[in-house]
Structure 1
Amino acid sequence: MADAKFTIPHRIFAAARTHGDAVAIRGEDGTEVRYRDLEPLARAAAKGFIAAGVAQGDRIAIWAPNATGWIIAALGAQAAGAAIVPLNTRLKGREAGYILRTSGARLLFTVSDFLGTAYPQLLAGEDLPDLRGIVLIKGEEGGAPWQVFLDRGSALSDAAVDARLDALGEDQVCDILFTSGTTGNPKGAVTTHGQNVRLYLAYGETLTYGPGDNFLIINPFFHSFGYKAGWLVALMRGVTVLPHAVFQTERVFERIERERVTLLPGPPTIYQSLLAGPYETFDISSLRVAITGAASVPVTLIEEMRSKLGIDVVLTAYGLTETCGVVTMCGAGDDAATIANTAGRPLGGIEVRLVDEVGKAVAEGEAGELLVRGPNVMRGYFNDPAATAAAIDGEGWLRTGDIAVQDARGNVKITDRAKDIFIVGGFNAYPAEIEGLLAAYPAVMQSAVIGVPDERLGEVPMAFVVLRPGASATPEEVISWCRENMANYKVPRRVEIVDALPMNAAGKVQKFLLRG
């Protein structure tokens, strides 16, 4: 494997040759893909992309729940030289349409039905000038079936794929993950093969992932946590990937017991749900490693994950889409208080700085905005040089927008989120984006969204709404409309109709007054 290039297909194909007969992926229905089958399956998919006219550097969107087909589609696209654009399965048509247009995606891989949602139908009426076609990973309505896509490429020679792989280098873009910004519309963070391969080879080694581990991936593949810190690191290190589409407590316990799950990362919400469930009635003794983060973590949760769920190694980490998903991580030797109250130290080669409002470094133990520099920092936002320049300075420091303190041992503790960002069950919620979506509701003249505490999800959105003159709407009607037009984690759980929003002299909403 030492001579494999630092690209995702090269590294995974090299691992496949090493771990040949071991199970690479086992679906929820029990179907298995052996490591020896990974390269042939990905190559067949790559031929499908080439036959469809996909060129090196093109973008391919994937809008589907965790499943074997998601991984094979992604590997095939990357082997053909394309970059993948994962879409959140909670998005509605308007939100997905924006990302497809902005990325210029040539093909969309999706499913005809998931949890009662027909994804292709959601795009009816969306203007998608660059999209050449829709391929269904699963299902039969709204696009070309997966097998038809593969059949169209079957006449191509292996040499066609070899040529794409030979041309693939570590500096080529492997993915564009769209992250919602505080200024409204989502922006696409561009990262390369080499960045991700190097980061996650080190990440997996630190966590001692390897052959014999069974990795239950509940974190969605459209997120760095499920994709990069999920199946990517797993397949590069000979781990068995167990995709899991929908979190249901008893179903998760059943898989842990039946498939001897050893690795179970996730946001705190997952572990809180497991601890509230019938964990004593299942054999979950195989659990070995858990990585959490993305929200505040109580010390008692860390302790109970160890004592009640029997997880040997429980760690917390911190990262952003713009940093390939990881910046800092705790170590196995850290005590429960350190793991709960900090996000650990920067991984090798990654630098962090804490600065005040004028960019001056703050003293140890003082709060400041967290800046990150290193090989994990994105190349920029897709086709948005102004946003890139605002995020990354001339010396390569990325402004995270997060406020943190750092202790004498180098541990970083995130204390606040700049610009009012809050986290709903592990997903970043951006008030400006939710407010922008609310503006499309005919009765709404103005809105302000804040995060309010929620026992299960940490925080949830609450909207203060000013109606247009002569218009009428109840809080229930606004919430109902939001459920039709927003991903569920963005939907305000509470709406308060107000006559006016508190403004400062510059005309900006004073959200601290709304928080009371």
Structure 2
Amino acid sequence: MLTIPHALLKQAAQQADALALQDGDMSFTYQELSDVVGRIAGVMEAEGLKKGDSFAIWAPNSAQWVIVALAGQMLGGVLVTLNTRYKGSEAADILKRARCRFLFTIRGFLGQDYEATLSEFDLPDLKQTVIMQDGLSTAPFENYLSRAGEAVTEPRVNEDDLADIIFTSGTTGAPKGAMSSHGQNIKVFEAFSSAIGMTEKDRYLVVNPFFHSFGYKAGWLACLIKGAAIYPLAIYDPAKVLEQIQDDKITVMPGAPTIFQTLLDYPQRNDFDISSLRIATTGATTIPVDLIRKMREDLAIDNVYSAYGLTESTGVVSLCSATDDVETIAKTCGRPLDGTFVRIVDDEGFDVPTGEAGEIWVKGFNVMQGYLDDPSATAEAITPEGWLKTGDVGISDDRGYVKITDRKKDMVIVGGFNCYPAEIEKVLLQHPDVQDVAVIGVKDDRLGEVTHAHIVAPALDEAAIIVWSRAHMANYKVPRGVTFHDSLPRNASGKVQKYLLKRN
């Protein structure tokens, strides 16, 4: 059976004594993880969670997060993930729209009391809020585990049932809830974990947040499918990460490009032995070629992959392979997952010639079931033939490799010429003093629109950037203005929130 709980039971049967989950002092073999999940599921069932009910988790990465998610899904509950950066109003909106019956959260994470921030909102469907952790104390979780309830040993779910509702990052508007089934989650991340060469011997440090597909699905779910060990990380700190890679012999650690750049820039990096690290995946529209090279050479990571996906594609569309060269990994996102399909189309939905830019459409088992309670948005996103319109602009080469050039809505038309901000960002990142960059379009009386660069580069000024840009890109692409920042606003998934830059 292709369901998430069945994947857990399979590992418990095949390698009962293997390490499944390690979080500080909390440690579980696969048999122990299966047992505790069954007991928590029994408590949740006794307290009213039924098949088809939604339950939410609003907490940073932890062992408890994984256990609660699996327990709810064991009963056929639908997992709703909440971004740890949400304000109370944002979380309340999602809890209400998803009609969540249970909320599992914590107190004391970065000074936050998530439960208290919800006190002023009316949530008629929310029947119970459970505190999993209070500061450093895990006593609330242990108390919950001791409540009455008969352990659940058989999943109440099949592969066509919904597994989760993950709300889009909402960088440009209200988040929409993308729904995925158990079967497609298992199929996608069986393909993903096999493609990057994961095995039951791996130890995976999950840096990416569990509320996002990168941390939940490409993270602990991929471990579950392969029988690898899960190491959740709640707060990223390069020194502590380097120490944990060394001490726990971490072998797998995907992350955004900025994660690996901070490791490379850490002054005492060479004081740590991180030779165990063998697999890393990353993804973005702009990855400097030099970063991929340094990940391989300076961090000595054997296999570095770039990938592309979105919430609506169950997290993955395409992936590079271990044999790809540095240029391919940096400049493309690989080929579509086996059994899925990609088209590059024009505004009328017709295929464009190889090498020309167009919107990326995706079809296959990775396409979401639809948006929660939003048939019009679902119909707008998925054609009657099943093609998901990603809204991303890209190019496919003669090998079938996909290169992302930008978001369709982000394209800037300068005097009749199409400009893709991501392409300009990639060039600007080649400047030795530019640390981070985001390019947007601004109105111009003569040209209609021009590009404007928001840059993190303490040693430069506007004139120097513009002069350098004129030497490295076509004139119509050159930013007409530059704004400098100490850092760019990014959401918890690492995406630059360009709408905030456009307000300035």
TM range (shorter): 0.7 to 0.9
Query: Alignment partner of 2:66: what SS?
Result: helix
Instruction: Give the AA of the match of 2:81.
Output: P
Partners in 2 of 1:117 and 1:490 — Cα distance? 23
Alignment match, 2:230: 241
Instruction: Give the AA of the match of 1:312.
Output: D
User: Are the counterparts in 2 of residues 111 and 119 from structure 1 also a CA contact under 8 Å?
Assistant: yes
Relative to 1, partners in 2 of residues 1:34 and 1:223: Cα closer, same or farther, differing over 3 Å? same
User: Are the counterparts in 1 of residues 172 and 499 from structure 2 also a CA contact under 8 Å?
Assistant: no
Partners in 2 of 1:491 and 1:126 — Cα distance? 29
Instruction: Give the AA of the match of 2:16.
Output: G
For residues 245-272 of structure 1, the C-alpha deviation after alignment (integer angstroms, 9 at most, x for no partner) is 1110100010011001110100000000
Asked whether 1:16 is paired with 2:6, we answer no
Alignment match, 1:267: 256
Alignment match, 1:401: 391
Q: 1:41 aligns with which of 36, 43, 49?
A: 36
Relative to 1, partners in 2 of residues 1:264 and 1:162: Cα closer, same or farther, differing over 3 Å? closer
Alignment match, 1:445: none
Alignment match, 1:345: 335
Partners in 2 of 1:102 and 1:207 — Cα distance? 36
Partners in 2 of 1:171 and 1:409 — Cα distance? 34
Asked whether 1:94 is paired with 2:89, we answer yes
Alignment match, 1:176: 165
Relative to 1, partners in 2 of residues 1:150 and 1:40: Cα closer, same or farther, differing over 3 Å? same
For residues 215-251 of structure 1, the C-alpha deviation after alignment (integer angstroms, 9 at most, x for no partner) is 1110000010110000001022121111011110100
Query: Alignment partner of 1:112: what SS?
Result: strand
Query: Alignment partner of 1:200: what SS?
Result: helix
Relative to 1, partners in 2 of residues 1:488 and 1:92: Cα closer, same or farther, differing over 3 Å? farther
Relative to 1, partners in 2 of residues 1:349 and 1:59: Cα closer, same or farther, differing over 3 Å? same
For residues 355-387 of structure 1, the C-alpha deviation after alignment (integer angstroms, 9 at most, x for no partner) is 101111100000000000000100000111011
Partners in 2 of 1:455 and 1:201 — Cα distance? 41
Partners in 2 of 1:18 and 1:387 — Cα distance? 43
Deviation of residue 451 (structure 1)? Answer: 8.1
Q: 1:80 aligns with which of 75, 81, 86?
A: 75
Instruction: Give the AA of the match of 1:37.
Output: E
Q: 2:298 aligns with which of 308, 312, 318?
A: 308
Partners in 2 of 1:496 and 1:42 — Cα distance? 46
User: Are the counterparts in 2 of residues 55 and 81 from structure 1 also a CA contact under 8 Å?
Assistant: yes
TM value normalised by structure 2: 0.81
Identity, % of aligned positions: 46
Instruction: Give the AA of the match of 1:19.
Output: Q
User: Are the counterparts in 2 of residues 324 and 378 from structure 1 also a CA contact under 8 Å?
Assistant: yes
Instruction: Give the AA of the match of 1:68.
Output: A
For residues 186-236 of structure 1, the C-alpha deviation after alignment (integer angstroms, 9 at most, x for no partner) is 110000000011111122122221122111110000010110000001022
User: Are the counterparts in 2 of residues 47 and 150 from structure 1 also a CA contact under 8 Å?
Assistant: no
Query: Alignment partner of 2:360: what SS?
Result: strand
For residues 366-420 of structure 1, the C-alpha deviation after alignment (integer angstroms, 9 at most, x for no partner) is 0000000000100000111011001001000000000000000000000011223
Between 487-496 and 189-198, the greater mean CA deviation after superposition: 487-496
Alignment match, 2:365: 375
Alignment match, 1:475: none
Q: 2:59 aligns with which of 64, 67, 70?
A: 64
Deviation of residue 90 (structure 1)? Answer: 0.8
Q: Structure 1: state its 5+ residue gaps.
A: 432-449, 457-481, 498-516
Between 295-304 and 204-213, the greater mean CA deviation after superposition: 204-213
Count how many residue pairs are aligned between Structure 1 and Structure 2: 434
Q: Structure 2: state its 5+ residue gaps.
A: 412-420, 426-437, 441-451, 459-488
Instruction: Give the AA of the match of 1:296.
Output: T
Alignment match, 1:186: 175
User: Are the counterparts in 1 of residues 171 and 499 from structure 2 also a CA contact under 8 Å?
Assistant: no
Instruction: Give the AA of the match of 1:123.
Output: L
Relative to 1, partners in 2 of residues 1:146 and 1:239: Cα closer, same or farther, differing over 3 Å? same
Alignment match, 1:25: 21
User: Are the counterparts in 1 of residues 72 and 79 from structure 2 also a CA contact under 8 Å?
Assistant: yes
Alignment match, 2:211: 222
For residues 413-441 of structure 1, the C-alpha deviation after alignment (integer angstroms, 9 at most, x for no partner) is 000112239999xxxx9x9xxxxxxxxxx
Instruction: Give the AA of the match of 2:33.
Output: L
User: Are the counterparts in 2 of residues 315 and 331 from structure 1 also a CA contact under 8 Å?
Assistant: yes
Alignment match, 2:483: none
Alignment match, 2:324: 334
Partners in 2 of 1:221 and 1:399 — Cα distance? 25
For residues 40-62 of structure 1, the C-alpha deviation after alignment (integer angstroms, 9 at most, x for no partner) is 11101111111111111000000
Instruction: Give the AA of the match of 1:383.
Output: D
Deviation of residue 492 (structure 1)? Answer: 7.8
Relative to 1, partners in 2 of residues 1:339 and 1:495: Cα closer, same or farther, differing over 3 Å? closer
Query: Alignment partner of 1:210: what SS?
Result: coil
